[in-house]
Chain A
Amino acid sequence: MYIYDKYDHDILSQRVAQFRDQTRRYLDGSLSEAEFLPLRLQNGLYVQRLAPMLRINVPYGMLNTTQLRRLARIARDYDKGYCHVSTRQNIQYNWPDLEQVPDILAELAEVEMHGTQSSGNCIRNITSDQFAGTAPDEVVDPRPYCEIIRQWSSFHPEFAFLPRKFKIAISGSELDRAAIQVHDIGLQLVTDNNGEIGFKVIVGGGLGRTPVIGSVIREFLPRLEVLNYLEAILRVYNLHGRRDNKFKARIKILVRAMGADVFAEAVEQEWQQIKESPSTLRDEDFDNAKAFFTEPAYETLNDDAVQTALEQQSADNRAFSKWLERNVRPHKVAGYAAVTLSLKPTGIAPGDITDGQLEVIADLADQYSFSEVRTTHEQNMVLADVKKSDLFALWEAARSAGFATPNIGTLTDIICCPGGDFCSLANAKSIPIAEAIQRQFSDLDYVYDLGDLDLNISGCMNACGHHHVGHIGILGVDKKGQEFYQVMLGGNAGNNASLAKVLGPAFGADDMPQVVQKVVDVFLENRTEEELFIDTYQRIGITPFKERVYAKAS
């Protein structure tokens, strides 16, 4: 994991001092509300329906246990004892006092954390694959690249007042687990025929009110040039992105208006001018970055032996075997596995976690996973390096702490934004809908039988809950002051990214569990043996679902 040196610490403590002074000037009236707004946003502070909301960056989802314990302490001392894992791998507090935010940031800085650029019209936290460095399908470990780009984007003097927010995601594996096609820039690490490492560059994806799958503007960018090339993209966007209408200000609108080819050409021209600048990386720079992400001290283990033991344990214990099937993933090192801790038990807002649970996870990570934890964009947490022989003990401990719900990747592993309970932009509540659906599908065997099924809920078209890329997407809408929900089907966030299609007129909250039930029924009646929901949907189309859901009661 990246460790701060004196430079990083100095920069961050100067940032805390700067924000402390800005907050002081705001509170004494010398800094206006309008001027304070972007400054507080760029330190993570929103002002929400009920209280300020503070968003803390978790760079590409990596946390150590010292940081986790600090997050727990802050939840306890400054908030109501819990926090929230966001769909961009960040941590959010819902109830801090504005006056205390500089103190919270100072506490975070001590453990190398901050809220810098977690909101506002700037380059946001870089997100990536939660299984980075451990996944068997990994081509290149994305974390050193994430860190290089994190540093480049932090306090960038030219790009702090962009037309709109800017999100970058990086994937280094065959399967895209970072949703790179729906980011402002998606970077896919690839190798060319000579084994040279580079990036496939995707630009102009995004969700929000105008969902777009990004366009590839460069098939292979040599890795040495990545900062120059990013600078070229951002400069073209900063100068040409629309500023007259905030709903048309994202880069996706610019790329569409110019055409991806013309946009790519503009970037190419700018890049040619700054190519080989001092920001060009050298092999040693990658080596320096990589040195922070070396493998932990894995033991040499006999996979066959532990596998046999595991099979015995799962034969004896069905609950354990379900957990193994859903929450445990293969690891590139023999004898190890990656474990997802579910933050989606029924009745808890998806992604919410208490101070005590954070500390339990820290203890488990110290004991079983080299003191590291990752957050996922599906709003769960991961222990990425667990010995298979420890899985049973880990499962028992996780179960008693409440995050061993064996539902990862299933219908009840719902991605859900804070919605009307917390967010002032919401059209409708989203958390109670998630809960009602989880209750409708409380029979775990039934849910397993459905297989992988992503259900995503947003409380308004800003799409913080990724509803466009859920196999089933739910969007809160407002009709004459009443909360309604639009259902959409067929979205997909991974390699074959696609945007969901609207099923038809919206429903009231009370109808939602039954509506989802009917959608699932149509799937069950039509699926072939090996099909997942998304496959059946793609084969039979939306019509059978529509007919069932809107059938007149006879």
Chain B
Amino acid sequence: MPKLVKDGAITEDQWTLLDKPDDSPEAVVIPAGCVIVPLSVWQAQKDSLTHRSDIGVWIDSDESAFDLGEDASTLPLVAVNFPGFMDGRAFSTARLLRERFHFGGELRAIGAFIRDQMGYLSRCGVNAFQFEDESIDLTEAMKSLNDFTEYYQASVNQPQPLFRRRSA
């Protein structure tokens, strides 16, 4: 079973990631078990999927947290995709999911992000990291989560900006 970094530890991945369909998201057959479906499939099949508790949704970088919206809070898992690591939209999407839509489940980064982005991602609310490249040494990569111990801005992990804590 493939592994991932979750909540600061390496764990087995229970979830299967479903690719985006070329067309007809309503026709996609969703297997049993824990499945992360593309946003379009969720939107097309929401009525039949809401009763399942083992469905997660992934949002591509050109899709928006607003398209999932309030649905997020009903899901156990939402993933944000990096088609390339330079595409930084997922940082905003993750933060919106946590702060605007109060998503409390597993927020997973998927795709081509790099370990050097894990610290920022975690501050944007991501708590699980599934590298596209399965050869990556997760024990090594996880070290990047601890590059910094203090930050200036407010973030999902620390809603109080430094200027408030400093003067307290």
Contact = CB atoms under 8 A, between A and B. Distances in A.
A158 B64 contact: no
Given A163-B88, A285-B163, 16 more contacts: A14-B150, A121-B88, A155-B152, A156-B152, A156-B153, A157-B123, A157-B124, A158-B120, A158-B124, A159-B88, A159-B91, A161-B85, A161-B91, A278-B164, A279-B153, A281-B163
Nearest to A36: B116
Interface stretch (B8-16, B50-58, B154-162): B154-162
Interface residues of B, number: 36
Interface stretch (A5-13, A254-262, A323-331, A381-389): A5-13
Nearest to A274: B99
Interface stretch (A146-154, A200-208, A309-317, A344-352): A146-154
Contacts, number: 101
Main secondary structure of the interface of B (DSSP, over half): loop
B152 A154 contact: yes
Given A7-B150, A157-B153, A151 B91 contact: no
A152 B88 CA distance: 18
Interface in B111-168: 114, 116-117, 119-121, 123-124, 147-155, 159-164, 166-167
Nearest to B146: A14
B86 A22 contact: no
A162 interface: yes
A14 B149 contact: yes
A161 B87 contact: yes
A235 B153 contact: no
23 contacts: A11-B151, A18-B147, A22-B116, A35-B85, A121-B86, A152-B152, A155-B120, A155-B151, A156-B152, A157-B91, A157-B123, A158-B91, A159-B88, A160-B91, A160-B120, A161-B91, A239-B64, A239-B93, A243-B87, A278-B159, A278-B160, A279-B153, A279-B154
Contact of B148 (A14, A151, A162, A235): A14
Contacts of A96: none
A245 interface: no
B108 interface: no
B6 interface: no
Which of A35, A154, A162 has its CB near the most chain B CB atoms (within 10 A)? A35
Contacts of B149: 10, 14
B120 A273 contact: no
Contacts of A18: 147-148
B147 A14 contact: yes
A470 interface: no
A370 B64 CA distance: 52
A39 B136 CA distance: 19
- Please classify the interface of chain A as helix (H, G, I), strand (E, B), loop, or mixed, using the class held by over half of its residues: helix
Contacts of B95: 158
B155 A285 contact: no
Contacts of B114: 35
B161 A157 contact: no
Nearest to B156: A157
Given A243-B87, A278-B154, A279-B161, A157 B120 contact: yes
Contacts of A11: 148, 150-152
A59 interface: no
A18 B88 CA distance: 20
Interface in A134-174: 148, 151-152, 154-163
A161 B159 contact: no
Contacts of B159: 277-278
Nearest to A5: B166
Interface of B: 64, 85-89, 91-93, 95, 100, 114, 116-117, 119-121, 123-124, 147-155, 159-164, 166-167
Contact of A157 (B87, B151, B164): B151
B92 A277 contact: no
A490 interface: no
Contact of A277 (B86, B117, B154, B163): B154
Contacts of B148: 11, 14-15, 18, 155
A99 B87 CA distance: 28
A85 B56 CA distance: 52
A17 B163 CA distance: 24
Nearest to A7: B150
Nearest to B161: A279
Contacts of A161: 85-88, 91, 117
A117 to B, nearest CB: 12
A156 B162 CA distance: 12
A243 B154 CA distance: 26
B163 A151 contact: yes
| A-B interface, 5 closest residue pairs, ranked by CB to CB distance from nearest | A161-B88, A157-B123, A157-B120, A18-B147, A151-B152
A465 interface: no
A524 B11 CA distance: 77
A411 B163 CA distance: 45
Contacts of A121: 86, 88
A357 B148 CA distance: 37
A3 to B, nearest CB: 13
A243 B85 CA distance: 12
A159 B153 CA distance: 12
Contacts of B152: 11, 151-152, 154-156
A38 interface: yes
Interface string A267-303: 0000001000111010011001000000000000000
Nearest to A241: B89
A156 B119 CA distance: 11
A238 interface: yes
A152 B153 contact: yes
Interface string A22-49: 1000000000000100110000000000
Contacts of A278: 154, 159-161, 164
